Amino acid sequence: MTFKDTGVNPVIRTADEAQSTFGLDVDTASYTKVRDFLLRSELPPREAVRVEEFVNYFRYADPKPAGEAFALGIEAAPSPFDTSKHLLRIAVQSKTIHPQLRKNVNFTFVIDVSGSMGRDNRLGLVKRSLELLVDQLRPTDRIGIVTYGSLGSILLEPTVVARKERILGIITGLKTEGSTNLEAGMNLGYAMAAKYFDAEATNRVVLCTDGVANNGITDPVVLVRNVKESADKGVWLSVFGFGMDNYNDHMMVTLADKGNGNYQYIDDFHEARKVFTGSSAGLFDVVASDAKIQVEFDPETVASYRLLGYEKRLLRNEDFRNDKIDAGEIGAGHHVTALYELTLNPKGEGRVASVRLRYKEPDSQKVVETSRTLRSNQVALSAAEGSASLRLAASVAQFAEVLRGSPHAKDKKLDRVREQALEASRDLGNPTEAVEFAELVKKAAALR
């Protein structure tokens, strides 16, 4: 398996640099990939752990937008894991769009049918996942199907979902063959998406693969050139990973980041149902492109800060208002969370931080910027007084920090993480994912 270590963000003195900037990220693949390791009674490689993808896997109890594209929230409380630190949570919730009010979609499925996909948790799971997705579509939506093994093949020119039986018949009949020419599949898929591009619809390439590329061009840097050009023309990308063992996570991350897309890992049918029958994949409507956050801390109240995760999404502060810079893409119904660890000045009062969200409206390319400010009198006085959402996110981030061997999580006990997760889960009404998370923490503690 191939993962890339993105490092760990350092602690920054506010007096030296008061601003922190990053592109938003809705990927969740790292969490489900690590869950797969743990359920197989294996500790994951440290480089497989990306904090933001752990945190963004979960849904939190944040208000939905009221007539706007986004609801932007900010809160802070003492850390439940370090009495000398506070945690600041930023919550970005995009609007939901009723299925009958969304745009039509033009999906181009690019499906890996190489020999390495010949297992039930790979091509078999791909088939069941795409059948779920097709069932969510309207008769006027369109689907084209491209496969690739040693060569790329067009199995179905874009066809309206009113002909669902034909579409499902092709998906059901998929069989494995040959080596893995990802380049050929991506080229054919993007050519099809460009040929049938509809400016009034959401145009998206949906890649389903185990991440292997052993034929044709295999360098992700070269592969993404065509992906990036197509993304700039309005063809979005969603990457769905399947399978273990020879999986290339780094390839999938690179394609999704450069393709104006998102990346999720499907480890079982339960996860497929969650992704393909809900809004978490953000497949149908794009609410924002090049979305980014800038946080400005007040040196009078904040002595130092550290961003937890988002190492692969860091931006230069001067590029926050440079609208040519590529950032993150947000779909309808997406929920994005970011955490900072703060050291506050004991006698500091007034503004703690100002958070600015900037993005482009996908259709008009109009740039929108909104902001929120947190003051010292709004900071909770104890960890227990922090919201359940903050406490759950803190537990998830701490778990990720421990698993990736962060120097900031040395000697931290997973028993404490599980305890905090269970308390937050109870306060949130025991959502399935949070309860499951507490059990994963228990399993990881035993394996360690």
More confident residue, 243 or 19: 19
Does the pLDDT value for residue 133 go beyond 60? yes
CA distance 107 to 426: 39
Q: 97-129 burial string, b = 16+ CB within 10 Å, else e?
A: beeeebbbbbbbbbbbbbebbeeebbbebbbbb
Q: Give the pLDDT score at 278.
A: 67
- pLDDT tens readout for residues 219-273: 666 777 767 777 677 888 999 999 866 778 888 888 888 877 889 999 899 999 9
Please give the average per-residue pLDDT across 404-430, as a whole number.
Answer: 93
- Cα–Cα distances in Å, from 5 out to 2, 113, 157, 185, 253? 10, 29, 39, 28, 12
- pLDDT tens readout for residues 152-193: 999 999 999 999 999 999 999 999 988 888 889 998 999 999
Q: What is the residue-averaged pLDDT of the chain?
A: 92
What is the pTM assigned to this prediction?
0.94
- pLDDT tens readout for residues 24-49: 989 999 999 999 999 999 999 999 99
Query: Which domains are present in the chain?
Result: 12-97+286-387 (2.60.40.1230), 105-276 (3.40.50.410)
HSE toward the beta carbon, residue 348, CA cutoff 13 A: 19
Angle at 117 between CA 247 and CA 4, to 5 degrees: 10
CA distance 364 to 168: 35
Q: Which two tokens stand for residue 200?
A: 């009034």
Contact 431, 59 (CB under 8 A): yes
Q: Give the pLDDT score at 125.
A: 94
Q: Give the pLDDT score at 301.
A: 98
What's the sign of the alpha-carbon dihedral 190, 192, 195, 198?
Answer: negative
Q: Give the pLDDT score at 234.
A: 82
